[in-house]
Amino acid sequence: MIEAMPIVWRGLGMTLMLSAAVIPLGLMGGLGVALLGDSRFALVRFLVIIYVDFFRAIPPLVLLIFIHAGLPFAGIRMSPFTSVCLAFLLNNSAYYGEVYRAGIESIGKGQTEAARSTGLSLFQTMLYVILPQAVRNVLPDLISNTIEVVKLTSLASVVALPELLYSSDMARSISYNASPIVMAAIIYLIILWPSVRILSRFEQKLATS
């Protein structure tokens, strides 16, 4: 068990690095999707609907395998890390986009009109008036979705990216016992439990406010 521990810790480092990459990508991509979905051009709105429906419908594991193992047949080759980041960007931006959209739609049109009447441009109105309130309104959903993203990083093991699950399984084969897998589960719990508790408290606070 002792000799397998460095493998587990390296896997944890990869999981943290992967999370640090895919979460901001998903958040920014989702914001872009939400803003495009609010476009005044019907064609843009239609394309956003198709994008969101498609990438919410396709299983993320299937999407990841297609990107990593299918695209090379078209001459497009990526490293495991890049493949995971792209798959998560496409999948998560669809989900985050719907969360942002719900937040934006929760803000009354009167606030937009009032902000525009003060001389703010449409961009400034969205940036300084609408988005801060929208994000606050859907913050529990954003946190919940982010927790799911961290858990989904374990899918990276199927493309041999040495994240926590993949590394723990390697450590299991070295130590000939299940302790590394149990440790991986405990590490996930330690990482995600505080976020789950914060989310619960935040939801309770919103419910009583």
Domains of the chain, start order: 2-208 (1.10.3720.10)
- What is the model's pLDDT at position 1? 61
In angstroms, rounded to a whole number, what is the distance separating the alpha carbons of residues 85 and 158? 14
Which amino acid appears at position 61 of this protein? L
The per-residue pLDDT string of the chain (209 residues; one tens digit each, 9 = 90 and over) reads 677 788 999 999 999 999 999 999 999 999 999 999 999 899 999 999 999 999 999 999 999 999 999 999 999 999 999 999 999 999 999 999 999 999 999 998 889 889 888 889 888 999 999 999 999 999 999 999 999 999 999 999 999 999 999 999 999 988 888 889 999 999 999 999 988 888 888 777 776 76
- What is the model's pLDDT at position 205? 78
Q: Name the 3-class secondary structure at 194.
A: helix
Distances (CA, A) of 191 to 2, 8, 92: 22, 15, 20
- What is the model's pLDDT at position 207? 67
Cα 144 to the center of its chain, rounded Å: 10
- What is the model's pLDDT at position 96? 98
- What is the model's pLDDT at position 98? 97
